[in-house]
Amino acid sequence: MKDFSNIIGHEKIIEYFQNAIAMDKVSHAYILNGADKSGKMMLAEAFAKTLECEKGKTVPCGECHSCRQADGRNQPDIIYVTHEKPNTLGVEDIRKQLNDDIVLKPYSSRYKIYIIDEAEKMNVQAQNALLKTIEEPPAYARILLLTTNADSFLPTILSRCVRLDLKAVADEKIRRYLMEEKQIPDYQADICVAFAQGNVGKAIELSSSENFNEMKNSALQLIKRLKDIDLYEMTQAVKQITEYKLEITDYFDLMMVWYRDVLLYKATADANKLVLKDQIYDIKKAASKSSYEGIELILEALEKAKARLRANVNFELVIELLLLTIKEN
């Protein structure tokens, strides 16, 4: 388990936690609300480790027995609430792992800390069971709810917790981290950063994903030859995209990055601002052959395709319509 110094971004939340510890005003319940892989678990674990550290400072010492246990995720007073069913955190999960356990005093530390990941999966019964505990918790109890959607909680839970919303991390910080710590070349770091949209975890995942590189190559190869393929070859093109049906949003986003680069180069002739710098030769060529209006229409068509798929319109039909729009423009 890491501490606050290992976390990229989220400085305001870290400062808030450290001030609460320094002033001995740690709340009994927190909601950490942010996108998947945005750093909620790292923040929760760093906060829990700091609270349980035997030195009692605003940063964990990393050396005491408690810190070493926390690093191995076997600190007996830091409890991870889990769920059996993949899409539901049920009332029995909350009762057995939290309500029945919280009445027992801490084993070896000042606090007893419960980390509930994917807390948005709590059904109403589970939330009501948790509410009883949050309303009258023991003095030593601290509950951390990690969620991608705090608005799914009952208003009564929201009103009894301190809500901390994770903000997007600056692109330059993520880019620097990928290049310095992960040894990613600049052009690859640019793509990962563009895709991650301020989400550090997603950027790190993309940087080491073979599948993402394959998908990028597939999308760019298709874009480059789309103008030249005949209508009877369209079925093959649709089939190529269907291979990435489960990651279609990322596939469309890759296409959008390409067309935005073409638009940017057409407007500025500046290759330094491009995300796909390694594609400069083809981007130049595409910019010279495309009109501003045509590129805008393609970008709009990509957004429309995303919306149609969210509305469950037939997949093949949506793709075919999108490819025809790209081909015409």
Task: For 218-272, give the DSSP string.
Answer: HHHHHHHHHTT--GGGHHHHHHHHHTTGGGHHHHHHHHHHHHHHHHHHHHH--GG
Q: Is there a single domain that holds both residue 32 and residue 158?
A: yes
Question: Which pLDDT tens digit goes with each residue over 181-225?
Answer: 888 888 888 888 888 888 888 888 888 877 888 888 888 888 888
Question: Which residue's entry shows tokens 């995720």?
Answer: 73
10 and 122 belong to one structural domain? yes
Which of 97, 130, 165 is the C-terminal boundary of a domain?
Answer: 165
Q: 16-54 pLDDT, tens per residue?
A: 999 999 999 999 999 999 988 899 999 999 999 999 999
Both 131 and 58 in one domain: the answer is yes
Task: Kindly report the backbone phi and psi dihedral angles of residue 99, in degrees, each rounded to the nearest multiple of 5, phi listed first.
Answer: -60, -45
Count of structural domains within the chain:
2
Residue 328 has pLDDT above 80, yes or no: no
Question: Is the whole-model pTM more than 0.85?
Answer: no
**Residue 149 has what pLDDT?**
92
Residues 235 and 314 in one domain: yes
pLDDT (0 to 100) of residue 231: 67
CATH number at residue 61: 3.40.50.300
Which of 148, 165, 182 is at the close of a domain? 165
The domain boundary, picked from 165, 193, 223, lies at 165
Does any domain span residue 178? no
My answer on whether 21 and 126 are in the same domain is yes
Residues 11 and 84 in one domain: yes
229: region left, alpha or beta (phi > 0 left; psi from -120 to 50 alpha): beta
Is residue 73 assigned to a domain? yes
Q: What is the pLDDT of residue 188?
A: 82
pLDDT of residue 224: 85
- Which of 296, 208, 307, 215 shows the shortest CA–CA distance to 259? 296
Percent of the chain, pLDDT > 70? Answer: 99
122/25 same-domain check = yes
- CA 307 to CA 167: how far, in whole Å? 25
151 shares a domain with 262: no
Q: Is the pLDDT of residue 157 over 80?
A: yes
The single-letter code of the amino acid at 220 is L
Instruction: Indicate whether 318 belongs to any domain.
Output: yes
Q: What is the predicted pLDDT for the residue at 1?
A: 55
Residue 304 lies in a domain: yes
Same domain, 158 and 220: no
> What is the arithmetic mean of pLDDT over 50-79?
92
Is 317 within a domain?
Answer: yes
Q: For residue 39, is it within any domain?
A: yes
The mean pLDDT value of the chain amounts to 89
Looking at residue 208, what is its pLDDT?
80
Does 148 share its domain with 230? no
Q: What's the pLDDT at 11?
A: 93
Q: Does residue 155 form part of some domain?
A: yes
Q: Are residues 293 and 150 in the same domain?
A: no
User: Where does the pLDDT of residue 320 fall: very low under 50, low under 70, confident under 90, or very high at 90 and above?
Assistant: confident
Domain ranges, residue 55:
4-165
Mean pLDDT over 260-288 rounds to: 89
Query: Regarding predicted confidence, which is higher, 222 or 261?
Result: 261
Residues found in the chain:
329
Q: Sign of torsion, CA 191 193 199 202?
A: positive
Same domain, 220 and 321: yes
User: Alpha-carbon distance 146 to 82, whole Å?
Assistant: 12
Domain assignment of residue 268, yes or no? yes
Q: pLDDT of 107-139, one tens digit each? A: 999 999 999 999 999 999 999 999 989 998 999
Domain of residue 305, CATH code = 1.20.272.10
